[in-house]
Chains A and B, each alone.
Chain A
Amino acid sequence: MPKRTDIKKILIIGSGPIIISQACEFDYSGAQAVKALKEEGYEVVLINSNPATIMTDPELADFTYIEPITPEMVIKVIAKERPDALLPTLGGQTALNTAIKVAEAGALKRYNVEMLAANIDVIKKAEGREEFKAAMEAIGLNVPKSYIVHTLEDAVKAGDDIGFPIIVRPSFTLGGTGGGVAYNRQELKELSSSGLDLSMTTEVMLERSLLGWKEYELELMRDSKDNVVVICSIENIDAMGVHTGDSITVAPAQTLTDREYQDMRDAAIAIIREIGVETGGSNVQFAVNPEDGELMVIEMNPRVSRSSALASKATGFPIAKIAAKLAVGFTLDEIKNDITRETYASFEPTIDYCVVKIPRWTFEKFPEAEDVLTTAMKSVGETMAMGRTFKEAFQKGMRSLETGRFGFGGDGKEELMHLDPEDLETGLRKPSSKRLCFIYEALKREMPIDELFELTQIDPWFLYNFKQIVEKENIIREQGFQGLTPKFLRSCKEYGFSDYQLAFLTGTSAKDVRDLRKKLNVVPVYKLVDTCAAEFESYTPYYYSSYEQENEASATGNKKIIILGGGPNRIGQGIEFDYCCVHASFALAEIGVESIMVNSNPETVSTDYDTSDKLYFEPLTLEDVLSIIDLEKPDGVIVQFGGQTPLNLAVALEEEGVTIVGTPPDSIDRAEDRKRFQQFLQKLGLRQPENDTVYTLEEALSVAKRIGYPVVVRPSYVLGGRDMRIVYNDAEIRDFMAIPGIAGADHPVLIDKFLKDAIEVDVDALCDGQNTIIGGIMQHIEEAGIHSGDSACVLPPHTLSPELIEEIKRASRAMAEELGVIGLMNVQYAVKDEDLYILEVNPRASRTVPFVSKATGVPLAKMATKIMMGKTLAELGVTKEVEINHWAVKEAVFPFDRFDNVDTLLGPEMKSTGEVMGIDDNLGLALAKGQLAAGSAIPKSGTVFISVRDSDKQAILGLAESLVEMDFDIIATRGTAKFLQSNDIPCKQVNKISQGRPHIMDKLQDNQVNWVVNTSMGRRATEDSYTIRRAALELHVPYTTTATGAIGVGMAMKAMREKEIGVQPVQYFTKNIQN
Chain B
Amino acid sequence: MKALIALEDGTIFEGRSFTGSGEAVGEIVFNTSMSGYQEILTDPSYTGQIVTMTYPLIGNYGTNTADMESASIHPRAFLVKEYNQFPSNYRSEKPLAEFLKEYNVLGIEGFDTRALVRHIRTKGAMKGIVSTEDLDHESLVKRASEWTGLVGQDMVSRVTCNEPYGWADNSVVPGTDFSTSQPGLDNPLKIVAFDFGLKYNQCRILTEKGCQVQVVPASTDAETVLAMNPDGIFLSNGPGDPEGVPDVVNTIRALLGKKPMFGICLGHQLLGLAYGGSTFKLKFGHRGGNQPVKDLLTGKVEITSQNHGFCVDMDSLNPDEVELTHINLNDDSVEGMRHKKYPAFSVQYHPEHAPGPHDAMYLFDRFIDMIRK
* In contact, B355 and A351 (Cβ under 8 angstroms): no
* In contact, B57 and A261 (Cβ under 8 angstroms): no
Q: How far is the CB of A281 from chain B (nearest CB, A)?
A: 16
Instruction: Specify the chain B residue showing the minimal Cβ separation from A389.
Output: B82
* In contact, A534 and B118 (Cβ under 8 angstroms): yes
Q: State in angstroms the CA–CA spacing of A342 and B117 once bound together.
A: 18
Q: State in angstroms the CA–CA spacing of A257 and B121 once bound together.
A: 27
Query: Residue B263 at the A interface, CB < 8 A?
Result: no
Contact residues in A for B88 (Cβ distance below 8 Å): 255, 459-461, 464
Q: State in angstroms the CA–CA spacing of A191 and B7 once bound together.
A: 64
Q: How far is the CB of A237 from chain B (nearest CB, A)?
A: 12
* In contact, B114 and A548 (Cβ under 8 angstroms): yes
Contact residues in A for B288 (Cβ distance below 8 Å): 350, 533, 535
0/1 string, B293-330, CB within 8 A of A gives 1: 01000011101000000000000000000000000011
Among A259, A265, A347, A354, the residue within 8 A (CB) of B329 is A347
0/1 string, A249-292, CB within 8 A of B gives 1: 00011111111111001100000000000000000000000111
0/1 string, B88-107, CB within 8 A of A gives 1: 11110000000000000000
* In contact, B89 and A534 (Cβ under 8 angstroms): no
Q: Which of A220-241 contact B (CB under 8 A)?
A: 225-227, 229-230, 233
Query: Residue A352 at the B interface, CB < 8 A?
Result: yes
* In contact, A388 and B81 (Cβ under 8 angstroms): yes
* In contact, B36 and A342 (Cβ under 8 angstroms): no
Instruction: Specify the chain B residue showing the minimal Cβ separation from A354.
Output: B57
Query: Residue B20 at the A interface, CB < 8 A?
Result: no
Q: State in angstroms the CA–CA spacing of A882 and B13 once bound together.
A: 63
Query: Residue A353 at the B interface, CB < 8 A?
Result: yes
* In contact, A262 and B356 (Cβ under 8 angstroms): yes
* In contact, A550 and B294 (Cβ under 8 angstroms): no
Query: Residue B250 at the A interface, CB < 8 A?
Result: no
**9-residue interface stretch from B27-35, B135-143, B335-343:** B27-35
* In contact, A549 and B111 (Cβ under 8 angstroms): yes
Query: Residue A343 at the B interface, CB < 8 A?
Result: yes
Known: A350-B54, A350-B290, A533-B55. A293 touches B90 (CB 8 A): yes
Contact residues in A for B67 (Cβ distance below 8 Å): 257-259
* In contact, B90 and A290 (Cβ under 8 angstroms): yes
* In contact, B355 and A347 (Cβ under 8 angstroms): no
0/1 string, B339-359, CB within 8 A of A gives 1: 000000000000001111110
Q: State in angstroms the CA–CA spacing of A350 and B356 once bound together.
A: 12
Residue among A266, A291, A534 with most chain B CB within 10 A: A534
Query: Residue A390 at the B interface, CB < 8 A?
Result: yes
* In contact, A527 and B329 (Cβ under 8 angstroms): no
Q: How far is the CB of B336 from chain A (nearest CB, A)?
A: 16
Q: How far is the CB of B268 from chain A (nearest CB, A)?
A: 21
Among A265, A342, A527, the residue within 8 A (CB) of B330 is A342
* In contact, A344 and B292 (Cβ under 8 angstroms): yes
Instruction: Specify the chain A residue showing the minimal Cβ separation from B288.
Output: A350
Contact residues in A for B330 (Cβ distance below 8 Å): 342-344, 347, 536
Query: Residue B260 at the A interface, CB < 8 A?
Result: no
Query: Residue A371 at the B interface, CB < 8 A?
Result: no
Contact residues in B for A266 (Cβ distance below 8 Å): 358
Residue among B13, B67, B82, B114 with most chain A CB within 10 A: B114
* In contact, B61 and A534 (Cβ under 8 angstroms): no
Q: How far is the CB of B351 from chain A (nearest CB, A)?
A: 13
* In contact, B33 and A464 (Cβ under 8 angstroms): no
Q: Which of A624-674 contact B (CB under 8 A)?
A: none
Contact residues in A for B38 (Cβ distance below 8 Å): 257-258
* In contact, A534 and B114 (Cβ under 8 angstroms): yes
Known: A344-B329, A533-B32, A549-B112. A461 touches B121 (CB 8 A): no
Query: Residue A704 at the B interface, CB < 8 A?
Result: no
* In contact, A258 and B117 (Cβ under 8 angstroms): no
Number of interface residues of B (CB under 8 A): 54
* In contact, A352 and B55 (Cβ under 8 angstroms): yes
Query: Residue A348 at the B interface, CB < 8 A?
Result: yes
Instruction: Specify the chain A residue showing the minimal Cβ separation from B361.
Output: A266
Q: State in angstroms the CA–CA spacing of A428 and B354 once bound together.
A: 38
Contact residues in B for A329 (Cβ distance below 8 Å): none
Query: Residue A349 at the B interface, CB < 8 A?
Result: yes
Instruction: Specify the chain A residue showing the minimal Cβ separation from B81.
Output: A388
Q: How far is the CB of B63 from chain A (nearest CB, A)?
A: 9
Q: State in angstroms the CA–CA spacing of A1043 and B123 once bound together.
A: 74
Query: Residue A456 at the B interface, CB < 8 A?
Result: no
Query: Residue A305 at the B interface, CB < 8 A?
Result: no
Q: Which of B163-217 contact A (CB under 8 A)?
A: none
Query: Residue B87 at the A interface, CB < 8 A?
Result: yes
* In contact, B33 and A258 (Cβ under 8 angstroms): yes
Q: State in angstroms the CA–CA spacing of A1073 and B90 once bound together.
A: 67
Contact residues in A for B353 (Cβ distance below 8 Å): 262
* In contact, B90 and A348 (Cβ under 8 angstroms): no
Query: Residue B49 at the A interface, CB < 8 A?
Result: no
* In contact, B114 and A390 (Cβ under 8 angstroms): no
Instruction: Specify the chain A residue showing the minimal Cβ separation from B353.
Output: A262
Contact residues in B for A351 (Cβ distance below 8 Å): 34, 55
Contact residues in A for B354 (Cβ distance below 8 Å): 258-259
* In contact, B112 and A550 (Cβ under 8 angstroms): yes
Among B87, B299, B329, the residue within 8 A (CB) of A343 is B329
Residue among B30, B54, B299 with most chain A CB within 10 A: B54
* In contact, B114 and A257 (Cβ under 8 angstroms): no
Contact residues in B for A290 (Cβ distance below 8 Å): 90
Q: How far is the CB of B303 from chain A (nearest CB, A)?
A: 5
Contact residues in A for B34 (Cβ distance below 8 Å): 233, 252-253, 350-351
Query: Residue A332 at the B interface, CB < 8 A?
Result: yes
Query: Residue A532 at the B interface, CB < 8 A?
Result: yes
Query: Residue B243 at the A interface, CB < 8 A?
Result: no
Q: How far is the CB of A718 from chain B (nearest CB, A)?
A: 40
* In contact, A332 and B301 (Cβ under 8 angstroms): yes
Query: Residue B241 at the A interface, CB < 8 A?
Result: no
Query: Residue A333 at the B interface, CB < 8 A?
Result: yes
Query: Residue A989 at the B interface, CB < 8 A?
Result: no
Contact residues in A for B291 (Cβ distance below 8 Å): 347
* In contact, A257 and B91 (Cβ under 8 angstroms): yes
Query: Residue A346 at the B interface, CB < 8 A?
Result: yes
* In contact, B57 and A389 (Cβ under 8 angstroms): yes
* In contact, B32 and A262 (Cβ under 8 angstroms): no
* In contact, A534 and B54 (Cβ under 8 angstroms): yes
Query: Residue B39 at the A interface, CB < 8 A?
Result: yes
Contact residues in B for A353 (Cβ distance below 8 Å): 56
Query: Residue B113 at the A interface, CB < 8 A?
Result: yes
Query: Residue B60 at the A interface, CB < 8 A?
Result: yes
Among A229, A333, A343, A527, the residue within 8 A (CB) of B114 is A527
0/1 string, A523-548, CB within 8 A of B gives 1: 00001000011111100000000001
Contact residues in B for A255 (Cβ distance below 8 Å): 60-61, 88-89
Contact residues in B for A291 (Cβ distance below 8 Å): 90
Query: Residue B115 at the A interface, CB < 8 A?
Result: yes
Instruction: Specify the chain A residue showing the minimal Cβ separation from B40.
Output: A258
0/1 string, A448-468, CB within 8 A of B gives 1: 010000000001110011000
Q: State in angstroms the CA–CA spacing of A451 and B57 once bound together.
A: 25
Q: How far is the CB of A263 from chain B (nearest CB, A)?
A: 9
* In contact, B91 and A293 (Cβ under 8 angstroms): yes
Q: How far is the CB of B102 from chain A (nearest CB, A)?
A: 18
Contact residues in A for B147 (Cβ distance below 8 Å): none
Using a CB–CB distance below 8 Å, which chain A residues touch chain B?
A: 225-227, 229-230, 233, 252-262, 265-266, 290-293, 331-333, 342-344, 346-354, 388-390, 449, 459-461, 464-465, 527, 532-537, 548-550, 552
Using a CB–CB distance below 8 Å, which chain B residues touch chain A?
A: 13, 30, 32-36, 38-39, 54-57, 60-61, 64, 66-67, 81-82, 84, 86-91, 111-115, 117-118, 121, 288-292, 294, 299-301, 303, 329-331, 353-358
Q: What are some 19 contacts across the A-B interface (CB < 8 A)?
A: A225-B299, A229-B303, A256-B89, A257-B64, A257-B89, A265-B357, A290-B90, A291-B90, A333-B292, A343-B329, A347-B290, A389-B56, A461-B87, A464-B84, A464-B88, A465-B84, A533-B54, A534-B54, A536-B330
7 new A-B pairs (CB below 8 Å) besides A260-B89, A347-B292? A255-B60, A290-B90, A344-B329, A389-B81, A464-B88, A533-B32, A533-B117
